[in-house]
Structure 1
């Protein structure tokens, strides 16, 4: 299996973090609220599912939020589930 080549960035104009692979992108939509990113919804295109794109994207998002010294509001079910299973990120949201 070929490794995925991806490009990550914060699309501030669309209020979403994006992880591109070829012409497809997984996204996490957000709203800024005070010193927090309210992570609203995660979408991974069907042909990219099952390849870990959601987890890769979320890990990159969490590192970016941490570097910006911000906090997380996990409104998205995927984000909330991931955070509950990965206590290393507790300091960002609890």
Structure 2
């Protein structure tokens, strides 16, 4: 069984952790400085690749942002690619610089 949880330190740095049957399977490195949540990196342990675990981390990221009224700055290539593939799904939480 897979579980995810957001772990933040006092200064807003932290990660979203993904566990599978009690073992750490992946994580996203994040920082939260309201109203923004920056995601830097997504990582899934090689033994868990191909099971959609990166998508589970993305789902937790998006849920956390929506629940806390945050806009996501997708510096992580995986997250940025997902946002670009389905912009309508993430429009409400995607922070885009004004040009």
Equivalent residue, structure 1, for 2:90? 89
TM-score, normalized by length of structure 1?
0.87
Equivalent residue, structure 2, for 1:41? 41
Equivalent residue, structure 1, for 2:69? 69
Deviations 1:54-84 (A, max 9, x none): 0111012101111111110000000000111
Unpaired stretches in structure 2, ≥5 consecutive residues: none
Runs of 4+ deviating beyond 6 Å: none
Over aligned residues, Cα RMSD in angstroms? 1.3
Across the two proteins, how many residue pairs are aligned to each other?
Answer: 90
Unpaired stretches in structure 1, ≥5 consecutive residues: none
State whether residues 37 and 71 of structure 2, in contact with CA within 8 Å, keep that contact through their aligned partners in structure 1: yes
Deviations 1:8-38 (A, max 9, x none): 1111136001111131231010122331111
